[in-house]
Amino acid sequence: LPPFDPADPLGVDDLLEPEDLAVRATVRDWAADRVLPHVAGWYEKGELPQIRELARELGALGALGMSLDGYGCAGASAVQYGLACLELEAADSGIRSLVSVQGSLAMYALHRFGSEEQKRRWLPGMAAGEIIGCFGLTEPDHGSDPASMRTHAKRDGTDWVLNGRKMWITNGSVSGVAVVWAQTDDGIRGFVVPAGSAGFSAPEIKHKLSLRASVTSELVLDDVRLPADAVLPEAVGLKGPLSCLSHARYGIVWGAMGAARSCFEAAVDYARTREQFGRPIGGFQLTQAKLADMALELHKGILLAHHLGRRMDAGRLRPEQVSFGKLNNVREAIDICRTSRTILGANGISLEYPVMRHAANLESVLTYEGTVEMHQLVLGKALTGLDAFR
Ligand code: FAD
């Protein structure tokens, strides 16, 4: 029998191909070099000062639009994309959010629903990280219920004129292009809005206590006039943005386990070295029970992510299964981070350790891409056939 590996107690790595391991190692090394030495400082200041450089480096790694084909994208497998999300979020959820919004929301919307011309215009620059993108669905008064959005696009001759507000938009202020969802006479449609458009602005949202190493913005659209070909031709109705969200949520299923792994590792290290009552706190049964329970949920979550990844690669992943993974893995990840925090005692609240930062970040991850309650309602509906949303 192979020896027990504390880093991979279930032997999940046996499911990986050599290319998968290479992708994981590349992203892990990049994050260790470019994010980990700086992220506590960025977090403390509430900024991501090197976002453009980081985006270009992530582009060079092939991490932007990673599982998309063509147009400069890496064409990686869903499992490889997931492994990258896990390694990025082990550094910080803000960096994984940058990559998720760029690749799974903005680029995915263009790739799946855009015209050939739109894809050629935007995707190569976005894949290279030269152009940052954002995805505007949520509004100040409409979050979980995007079907009620008020942002609208009206025809004026052949042009479109957009008015409205979007809220909590990741990458907004640094984006060169925004994919904005709006009501039209034909239902909800997606629009490609270049950041320089007259009437468009993206003020940054400050004073966040979570996801502080991430740019979050409002999008303001005041009579933004766009040509006829600004609309994404292949998306009509809410299923357009929802399919993008499903792709991004899939990445979060993996990513959340990265944040959890980072906290768990910090807790194990601390428990082995911190002494109270004359011996390491890891030698007390109560601490071991916490570590054992955390290891169960961490590695079950990683196994679940692999399972969903293989289904996505086989073209068999249903949105309800993504809800299953997002609900479970983010909820368990935040629990692991909070329990790790208790093991670190007072040090657990310090930015000297990654634990509180991850726990606070996961409060956002728990809410965005569908709150816990929304995913419970998705599963409740799938299990009973009864719609409890309204
Ligand atoms: P609400 O919808 O008002 O919900 C408040 C509470 O009520 C929640 O607990 C919710 O579950 C509950 N609730 C609502 N309806 C029901 C119901 N029927 N039954 C039971 N409970 C219910 N959005 C984007 O479009 N693009 C982005 O890039 C983006 N980035 C984000 C980044 C950050 C840091 C954050 C925090 C959010 C981001 N969001 C983004 C917005 C996010 O998707 C929304 O916050 C989320 O969908 C929830 O909407 P809300 O905040 O308006 O909460």
Please list the pLDDT of the chain residue by residue as tens digits (390 residues).
Answer: 999 999 999 999 999 999 999 999 999 999 999 999 999 999 999 999 999 999 999 999 999 999 999 999 999 999 999 999 999 999 999 999 999 999 999 999 999 999 999 999 999 999 999 999 999 999 999 999 999 999 999 999 999 999 999 999 999 999 999 999 999 999 999 999 999 999 999 999 999 999 999 999 999 999 999 999 999 999 999 999 999 999 999 999 999 999 999 999 999 999 999 999 999 999 999 999 999 999 999 999 999 999 999 999 999 999 999 999 999 999 999 999 999 999 999 999 999 999 999 999 999 999 999 999 999 999 999 999 999 999
Residue 369 annotated to the active site:
yes
Q: Tell me, using a 6 A CB cutoff, whether residue 135 lines ligand 1.
A: yes
Tokens 């899939």 sit at which residue? 250
Structure tokens at 156: 């004026």
Residue of 44, 84, 70 lying closest to 356 (CA atoms): 44
User: Collapsing DSSP states into helix, strand and coil, what is residue 268?
Assistant: helix
Residue of 342, 339, 335, 345 lying closest to 366 (CA atoms): 335
| Amino acid (1-letter code) at residue 87 | E
Q: Using the atom order of ligand 1, give the atom closest to the CA of residue 389.
A: 18
Q: Tell me, using a 6 A CB cutoff, whether residue 57 lines ligand 1.
A: no
Provide the CA 189 distance to its chain's centre, in angstroms.
Answer: 23
The catalytic residue among 47, 57, 369, 373 is: 369
ipTM over 0.95: yes
From CA 188, how far away is CA 195, in angstroms rounded? 21
Structure tokens at 85: 């999300």
Structure tokens at 166: 């979007």
Q: Tell me, using a 6 A CB cutoff, whether residue 184 lines ligand 1.
A: no
What pTM was estimated for this model as a whole?
0.98
Q: Using the atom order of ligand 1, give the atom closest to the CA of residue 166.
A: 25
